[in-house]
Amino acid sequence: MTRIIAGRAGGRALLTPAGSATRPTSDRVREAMFSSLESLVELPGAVVLDLYAGSGALGLETASRGASAVTCVEQDRGAARLITRNARTLALPAVSVACARVETWLRRPPRAPGFDLVLADPPYHLGEREVGMVLSLLPAHLAPGALVVVERSSRSPDPAWPPGWKAGKSKRYGQTCLHRAWPADRVCT
């Protein structure tokens, strides 16, 4: 069972897509991810982008913890409907869902003021070239001082970050590895 870890919807269960290729981030990994994010991002009031949203667990978690706006991008129509349903059930009105391919959505004109935090959980089978291309489209969509976190298989190589970005320490949790990076305008450790 996937659930919200903390915040105003903490402990509440999420519906997840059945019988699909969606791989929700485990509660253990989400708990560790958000624990490390606490010192890097002020979630209350943050503008968040959840790419390859799947079940929406990452974006919904940020909304539960006070993000002011969360955009979940998911190409599977059923999964996108489920994210919308979860957001309604959990009374998280800050969450909006875009049913689109991530690459297509990122080619749209950027919104202002930009995203403070981007969480990307591409399917593990997606190649590094494709992931690198998505990362190269992100800078136009980011607010100053933004942070990007990418979840990959622990067997995958580190993401190819855009030129000028600084990569932080990667953290492994079993078969999952979390990578984080930020544009040069951010001071981070």
* Phi, psi of 91, rounded to the nearest 5 degrees: 55, 55
Is the per-residue pLDDT at 17 higher than 90? no
The answer to whether position 44 is within a domain reads yes
pLDDT digits (tens, 9 = 90+) for 139-185: 999 999 999 999 999 999 999 999 989 999 899 988 999 999 998 76
Is the per-residue pLDDT at 46 higher than 70? yes
pLDDT digits (tens, 9 = 90+) for 68-89: 999 999 999 999 999 999 999 9
Is the per-residue pLDDT at 66 higher than 60? yes
Domain extent at residue 151: 2-17+25-182
* Phi, psi of 152, rounded to the nearest 5 degrees: -140, 170
Question: pTM for this structure?
Answer: 0.93
**Which domain CATH number covers 69?**
3.40.50.150
The answer to whether position 188 is within a domain reads no
